[in-house]
Chain A
């Protein structure tokens, strides 16, 4: 057991996967010699050579498309899209090709590829370097989407994603790269689609993923001081998402808040809210509430971005609103 940063946990997962399986290769913009813009792939080219760790030109469509072809050709490519905002340039390969090949070709083949890409604000990176676009991919049948919130899960889920026969969008969060956490010497595997209970509680359920997990835990700690026991569920995967874990929690707490950094409208929270309302309406003591970003591009200036990003205060307020629901409607 050692303390590891989130970015280095990903680095170790890549190294261990490449060590274990010669068909795993990496390519993307500046992932080789430069080690990636966030140093996540640092040292891997030196260790595994320039044939397996390749710098590409700035050609997102071809990076993603080549991953599809390489996967069909017997490799397990792990490619990096430098900022999640740049996936717009790679959408054909991901949505029309990778996601559909297994189904569309009648199950003849699988497409074992991973697209690593960082989302998230907090760096004042502006409207085109901060977006959380994971809901787009969760909407496409054939893709899997995981969003780890801590170093141990980042390691385990990346190993699982690389071993998975289907295309996985592995969403990292720029603000988490320096996060420290414990990583076992021999980490246990984590299945895609399996949530974890980040904190147990009986009064309200807060469903989160990625960087929002830390915000939810802070909110839960704040609420605990008032005697409110919030349960925090870290989804870890959003496609598929762990419906059973959320249902079990809601059966206990009767209140559900879903929080994410992405825009609220048409987001992951909307899907979960709809689904839980369909399946567990009778369990709910209050409407399912969502916390997310306002419907606007992520602004640049410090004050604007601070006001824009949803955080612990928004989650705390939503939990209170849920708990106070009956009084509001009297």
Chain B
């Protein structure tokens, strides 16, 4: 298996995917044990998309995410301890325990938030791209969205406006074939590429289980957006292994569909490519164990975290500024 990347790059991509996979597997167990409040939407099987795309980004670039956003957050480089502490509802969490899994955000690294509203991140990413353009920051914004958001009107508005204004915006579609409990062919009558064409936005498709392919495609289109060519679409064909949410028995999927999903494991694809460059499986395992140790340390720290402070939350509905309301 040939690769354009050097061994270190391949290992780094693999490591980031392992970080997402193991983090979500750990979250799944924590959820099962009752340690994670609320809902949990996992992206197991889709790791190559956020890792491949974020590998093409710079620190100043921004991403807006979805309800299935753990991968985007971790790939953009949010603090791991803050990540787990947030999802476990702790004061030490990235959002001080006020957002949870579907609102993980870390503005310091350009992660503008997971989002509880399907399609909700799209215009936010567009506005972020507008800020990059007006401020001449040289940055680009990425709107991650699933195939479920293709039926949302706001996507169509955003394609139009991004094209009109030639914004440095990447429409990164994670097409896992399922809009919550319903298959794509019952949800969307068009094709994303054709939709892009209608708005004059170049659209590329890529195997979303192949992190190197995603990275290569993203690198190419991010460069185009960054140099002022306007918005770009990247549709990543990927697979959702688990239910819409943890606890979803997925009775709407048959065994063949689930088997197909698992047949394209981005970690297996990545590992085979790394091994083909001469790196030993042992070395990969060592790397994976180091990731697992980091995760375990983050989980332990989160468990020891404080309950969020209600009074502090109540005082933070608005930005706290010096001086009173009466000026």
A-to-B contact residues, CB < 8 Å: 23, 25, 51-52, 54, 56-57, 59, 61-62, 64-75, 77, 92-93, 96-97, 101-110, 141-142, 144, 165-166, 189-194, 240, 242
Q: A25-B134, A105-B103 are in contact. Are A65 and B127 (CB under 8 A)?
A: yes
B135 close to A74 (CB less than 8 A): yes
Q: A73-B128, A77-B127, A194-B325 are in contact. Are A103 and B122 (CB under 8 A)?
A: no
Residue ID in chain B nearest A59 by CB atoms? B157
Minimum C-beta distance from A164 to chain B (A): 8
Partner of A104, one of B95, B160, B161, B318: B95
Return chain B residues, CB-CB under 8 Å to A77: 127
Q: Within B98-120, which residues are at the interface with A (CB < 8 Å)?
A: 98-99, 103, 105-108, 112-113, 115-117, 120
Partner of A108, one of B107, B115, B160: B107
A65 close to B327 (CB less than 8 A): no
A62 close to B157 (CB less than 8 A): yes
Residue ID in chain B nearest A110 by CB atoms? B319
A67 close to B127 (CB less than 8 A): yes
Q: A73-B131, A93-B123, A101-B113 are in contact. Are A106 and B94 (CB under 8 A)?
A: yes
10 shortest A-B CB distances, which residue pairs?
A69-B127, A65-B123, A73-B131, A106-B96, A191-B327, A66-B127, A106-B95, A59-B157, A193-B325, A69-B124
Residue ID in chain A nearest B133 by CB atoms? A51
A59 close to B131 (CB less than 8 A): no
A166 and B141 CA atoms in complex are apart in Å by 23
A102 close to B105 (CB less than 8 A): no
Residue ID in chain B nearest A67 by CB atoms? B127
Minimum C-beta distance from A63 to chain B (A): 8
A240 and B105 CA atoms in complex are apart in Å by 28
A70 close to B95 (CB less than 8 A): no
Partner of B99, one of A54, A72, A75, A104: A104
Q: How many residues of B contact A (CB 8 A)?
A: 51
* B21 CB-CB contact with A under 8 Å: no
Return chain A residues, CB-CB under 8 Å to B158: 62
Q: A59-B161, A105-B105, A106-B96 are in contact. Are A51 and B124 (CB under 8 A)?
A: no
B316 close to A107 (CB less than 8 A): yes
* B275 CB-CB contact with A under 8 Å: no
- List, sorted by A's number, 12 A–B pairs whose CB atoms are closer than 8 Å: A59-B161, A65-B126, A68-B127, A71-B127, A72-B107, A72-B128, A104-B95, A106-B93, A106-B95, A106-B96, A191-B327, A194-B326
Partner of A105, one of B95, B128, B153: B95
Partner of A103, one of B62, B134, B165, B317: B317
Residue ID in chain B nearest A190 by CB atoms? B327
Minimum C-beta distance from A191 to chain B (A): 3
Return chain A residues, CB-CB under 8 Å to B115: 97
* B154 CB-CB contact with A under 8 Å: yes
A51 and B167 CA atoms in complex are apart in Å by 12
The digit string for B314-326, where 1 denotes a CB below 8 A from any CB of A, is: 0011110100011
A165 and B317 CA atoms in complex are apart in Å by 12
* B64 CB-CB contact with A under 8 Å: yes
Return chain A residues, CB-CB under 8 Å to B120: 65, 92-93, 96-97
Partner of B106, one of A75, A108, A144: A108
